Structure 1
Amino acid sequence: MNCIRWIFLVLSILQISCRGYQKELSENEAYYNVDIDTLGNRGVGSISSYFKSVKPIILETSEKNLLKSIDAIQVTNDCIFILDRGYKKLYCFNKAGRFIRQIGHLGNGPGEFSNISDFTLDENNKLIFILDNYISKIHVYKFTGEHISSINIHNTIDGVLGHIQYSNNQLFTDYQPNKISTKRAAPLLIKIDINSGKLLDEYLSSEIYNLGFQLITFKNNSYFYSKNSHSPYYAPIYSNTVFSIENNISPYFQIKSNRLLKKDDLETFDLSFPGIIADINNLNKIKSILNFLEISDYIICEYSDGYKLNTIVFSKTNKSANLYEGLFDDYVYKVFEGSIPHYMACSDKKGMYAYMNINDVPLFIDYYKSGKIKFEFNQFEIDMIENLSEDSNPLLFYYELRE
């Protein structure tokens, strides 16, 4: 009997010691890495250098689908899903931009939610998972909009969740403990049972992989990347590493530089105070990976350098990288000066989707009328553009990769 108890005790200790977030991964384990300090800055790059064409998608605008903000986009074979955190709505459009339906509604009844902080898709089973972080629930809908179930996130998860990612019949979320301690590291990533809402595992110590920073923060898109691909990734806000979460948590892509933000740079900062992000952003350091797309042989990674946004285009085959101060859409605009930024959203096997800021719609209308647009629209597109107003939904763009 004592022997059995001893074996059980040893197994319990092993289980605790092997929890994912306690294990420090080697900095040299990333599958791909780029040393930024060895790259020459090529200035502003051209979209046409990597993509052979652009297809504008003019979103239908009505009282039923008016957007206040575009916070995330995910695309399937037939649909474009757009999250608007401002209006707390998730819309479904077809690939031509025609409005199809709204997914779920605000409320307290069955199938209703109090907030949408993020969503993720299970394309094989045509399911949508909406994270309602106000009441710690995950609402499940069919692509048709039918509500299937609501999963209560188990109360053993004592903290705040911000973003969500489906992968291989599992759900991952980022995590912030309710009581932030400067003495104890917390996991950055947790895995939740897709049926019960129970905590299955924890990964990535905030102390090791996020310079001790534990707060949930929001930005355009998410900290999960290539969200509608079959190979999702995750990058903490103050990490130089993108982690694969497809089969296990492992370093996939890493940027290196002598100017990376380090833990010593934050010694005088109160990392439990939400407003500290503005102070960290003032540091003239390479701080955050802000976007990450994988398209066929290419990886496109955007990162913050001081107040600048730089772009790396990396070839997996050649193990070579180019560094740009952003990419200019030379298919749509005649010149770079004054051109409207297009923001990368998501990718598929053949290309990537981008979107225009809602506040730039009036400027686009003015450019079109004054002949500053280079792209030749077809008659259907011309009719739609000429009906645009300052309150219209913004345009999306699909770029097809060169072969």
Structure 2
Amino acid sequence: MNKNIFYLIMIVFFLPYGCKNKSIKNDPEETTSIKFDIQRELKSIHDIGLIKDVEIINLDCEEVIIGNIDEVIKFDTIIYLMDKTQNMSIYIFNLDGDLIHSISNYGNGPREYIQLTDMFVDPADSSFNIVSRVDKKLFKYDLRGEELRAIEKNPKSFTSMRKMDEGYLAYMGNYSEDRTKPYNLWLLNENLKTVDHYFEIDKIWEGQYSTDGAVFSVYRNMYYYITPRNYNIYLVENNKMTTKYNFNFGKLSLPKINETDVVNEKRLFELKNEYIYRFYNFQETENYLIVKLLHKGQYLLGVYNKNNKQANIVTLDPYEGKYFFSFGNIIGFDEKTIYTIIDAAEIKRFWDGKDQYNNFEEKYPLQIDHLRKRFKTIREDGNPFLVMYTLN
């Protein structure tokens, strides 16, 4: 066979495979591999030196009734809370728990959104941004959410976006939309024009979008991305994609899933229960790498200490420091904080000091006293409480 023809055949053969994860560098020397010992007994999150302090904020107010809280951002002294599944609204509070403003513009009008899916702050222009997927809109508000500065048109129906120095990161959420370019991750320039794309959407997961967790995270102006179905952490830098970290869970690592598994609800439930099915969040901090995961119906954290190189899977046990209450439902991370939500009725149980099964005050007298001093009254049917765990 002619050598030129042979090389041409080889190029054509391998081309589709190279395009699936375009421009991703998988250099072992640039990837930190982290192994979790699944034989070790699980530790409590409070026994590994991760949490330094805690603050709790009562979000109860007369102006709004909050439904679900699916996402949180803290920027300076402002807290943004998104309810994208029930009330389809955004609530903006200060650190004292006072409502600054709420955005509730669901509808088909020119200044309204159809499907809230994400939010982010752009410090460069001091704007608060809201992503609406179905209508491909990007709303740009002032930081207090009171002035709508602009409505930009996204090139695709993105579910998540983040602003970088050189443009935007955007995620499709397993909706291919364009069959000729069925990619999940897109890089955009400052004008929202597409620059590059990565991670071809697997046909067996087409249209299966999860509202839990977040695919993007930021640490010291480094932007990370997690895919729905592997344990790699990807770094996006200078319009290039690098496999920065890889987590190894040994026997708990998910085997390859085929189309038969996906349509078999019983089999899919077994896989989700037996293995580490996916990452819900990833966050790098000054001292740790943290992933939120689910195993046997229980949310856990995989925590890697960058200083002593120890990796632990930890349980989210009740907090027993300054106060006493359940750890809460994790709704977000940043490089300094874990954010959780606890229902008002749950906090009221601890504030009361006991229920029909437990006497909290007898076991945690100082913590319950601090909780009562922090909150003079608690409405059982009020808005939830936001708990902010400051990290070491």
Q: TM-score, normalised to structure 2's length?
A: 0.79
How far off its partner does 1:365 sit? 0.6
Match of 1:340 among 306, 315, 326: 326
- The residue that corresponds to 1:167 in the other structure is 164
Q: Is the aligned partner of 1:377 residue 2:370?
A: yes
- Quick check: 290-299 or 30-39, which moved more? 30-39
> Is the contact made by 1:73 and 1:221 (CA closer than 8 Å) also made in structure 2?
no
Q: Is the aligned partner of 1:295 residue 2:276?
A: no
- The residue that corresponds to 2:261 in the other structure is 269
Which residue type is aligned with residue 170 of structure 1?
G
- The residue that corresponds to 1:53 in the other structure is 53
How far off its partner does 1:190 sit? 1.1
- The residue that corresponds to 2:252 in the other structure is 259
How far off its partner does 1:202 sit? 0.4
How far off its partner does 1:23 sit? 4.4
Counterpart secondary structure, 1:232: strand
CA distance in 2, matches of 1:216, 1:19: 22
Q: Is the aligned partner of 1:68 residue 2:36?
A: no
Which residue type is aligned with residue 74 of structure 2?
V
- The residue that corresponds to 1:5 in the other structure is none
CA distance in 2, matches of 1:291, 1:48: 19
How far off its partner does 1:193 sit? 3.6
CA change 1:276–1:70 in 2 (3 A) is: farther
How far off its partner does 1:401 sit? 3.1
Match of 2:339 among 354, 361, 370: 354
- The residue that corresponds to 1:243 in the other structure is 234
Structure 1, unaligned runs of 5 or more = 1-14
- The residue that corresponds to 2:348 in the other structure is 365
CA change 1:27–1:169 in 2 (3 A) is: closer
Counterpart secondary structure, 1:366: helix
- The residue that corresponds to 1:213 in the other structure is 205
Counterpart secondary structure, 1:201: strand
- The residue that corresponds to 1:136 in the other structure is 136
> Is the contact made by 1:229 and 1:347 (CA closer than 8 Å) also made in structure 2?
no
CA distance in 1, matches of 2:16, 2:189: 19
- Quick check: 388-397 or 25-34, which moved more? 25-34
CA change 1:51–1:283 in 2 (3 A) is: closer
How far off its partner does 1:220 sit? 3.4
CA distance in 2, matches of 1:100, 1:229: 28
Which residue type is aligned with residue 222 of structure 1?
A
How far off its partner does 1:48 sit? 7.8
Which residue type is aligned with residue 374 of structure 2?
E
CA change 1:103–1:229 in 2 (3 A) is: farther
CA change 1:380–1:262 in 2 (3 A) is: same
> Is the contact made by 2:230 and 2:278 (CA closer than 8 Å) also made in structure 1?
yes
CA distance in 1, matches of 2:53, 2:177: 50
- The residue that corresponds to 2:94 in the other structure is 94
CA change 1:270–1:345 in 2 (3 A) is: closer
How far off its partner does 1:135 sit? 0.9
CA change 1:26–1:244 in 2 (3 A) is: closer
Which residue type is aligned with residue 135 of structure 2?
I
- The residue that corresponds to 1:6 in the other structure is none
User: Please, what is the CA RMSD of the aligned residues?
Assistant: 3.4
> Is the contact made by 1:189 and 1:202 (CA closer than 8 Å) also made in structure 2?
yes
CA distance in 2, matches of 1:280, 1:190: 33
- The residue that corresponds to 1:308 in the other structure is 298
Which residue type is aligned with residue 126 of structure 2?
K
Match of 1:189 among 180, 185, 192: 185
CA change 1:322–1:342 in 2 (3 A) is: same
Counterpart secondary structure, 2:252: coil
CA distance in 1, matches of 2:258, 2:18: 29
Query: Number of paired residues?
Result: 363
- The residue that corresponds to 2:9 in the other structure is none
Counterpart secondary structure, 1:22: coil
Which residue type is aligned with residue 253 of structure 1?
Y
How far off its partner does 1:352 sit? 1.0
CA distance in 1, matches of 2:27, 2:259: 22
Match of 1:392 among 357, 361, 382: 382
CA distance in 2, matches of 1:261, 1:331: 36
CA change 1:342–1:283 in 2 (3 A) is: closer
Which residue type is aligned with residue 132 of structure 1?
S
